[in-house]
Amino acid sequence: MEASGRVWCARGAGVAEPWGITSVSEESTAVIGRAALRADCGSCFGLCCVALPFTASADFAVSKPAGTPCGNLDADFRCGIHAGLRERGFTGCTVFDCFGAGQRVSRETFGGRDWRAAPATAASMFAAFGVVRQLHELLWYLGESLAGPAARELGRELRATSGRIEALAGGDPVELAAVDVPALRAEVGELLGRVSESVRAARVPGRRRDRRGADLAGARLHGADLRGASLRGALLIAAELGGADLRSADLLGADLRNANLAGADLRDALFLTQAQLNAARGDGRTRLPAGLDRPAHWAGPPA
């Protein structure tokens, strides 16, 4: 997080990069690195605070429609209550991750023109932000896959898909509006499914639990052996996962809001994101994959 008072950033400066893919493949397809997929809120026009809607709930103290600035957004695009978002009822803001889409749309797609100074750009800027955010999320998962053992088997396909999506993300507002995001998500989801099967079979031979899409809200899984399990898309809200072994588990899209991860082992978990960790509860004993931060609200320092 930033200490400067800017809107929340998913990852602070100085984080070790477990994959820094900025190379060009043998097919001359550029592959984006993790650094470009990290939020740089100081280079963004507060897009997540304007473009997205939210509803009064446990996550947000008030409601606002899409395209309307949050009442806490200052004139310089900083969050006026950044230091106390959780205490003021805006937990949802602290768990959102744009995967670097905010600064890309602000500085690259619109060349540094902000929606306040150029109000005619507002609608297309907010729409572009929504598209690029989803494309960057896909690039995050593809980059993780390319840095892992599945690259030996699926590297050519992963690089080609990543390069194609990166090219789409660099399009102008009209081109971005034409992107079929659901079709891309389905295509990439199938590829990531093959990545998951390959990696989990190599790391955890034999039968592995398949709880894809399962409703495990509030489930008592303390100390459970979930190595290599597929929890893709599983509902794990408020689940008790303290001390659970989640090494090499597929957590793509799993809902970990308020899940207890105290003492859990998440090393080598597949497709885990900072936003998922920020939405969960943990402590100093929780073991994390390289490159993800221990959320500030978790109890205790790392063991």
pLDDT tens, 103-123?
Answer: 999 999 999 999 999 999 999
Predicted confidence band of residue 33 (pLDDT cuts 50, 70, 90): confident
pLDDT tens, 130-184?
Answer: 999 999 999 999 999 999 999 999 999 999 999 999 999 999 999 999 999 999 9
* Separation CA 98–CA 71 (nearest Å): 20
* Separation CA 60–CA 77 (nearest Å): 19
> Which one has a higher pLDDT value, 205 or 29?
205
All residues at 6 or more sequence positions from 101 whose CB lies less than 8 Å from its CB, including other chains = 47, 129, 132, 133, 135, 136
Provide the CATH number for the domain formed by 208-303 in this structure: 2.160.20.80
CATH 2.160.20.80 domain locations along the chain? 208-303
Q: Over 22-62, what HEC string results?
A: CCECCCCCECCCHHHHCCCHHHCCCHHHCCCCECCCCCCCC
Helix then strand then coil, in percent of the chain rounded to 5, is 35, 10, 55
Q: What is the reported pTM? A: 0.87
Question: For position 83, what pLDDT does the model report?
Answer: 86
Question: For position 31, what pLDDT does the model report?
Answer: 60
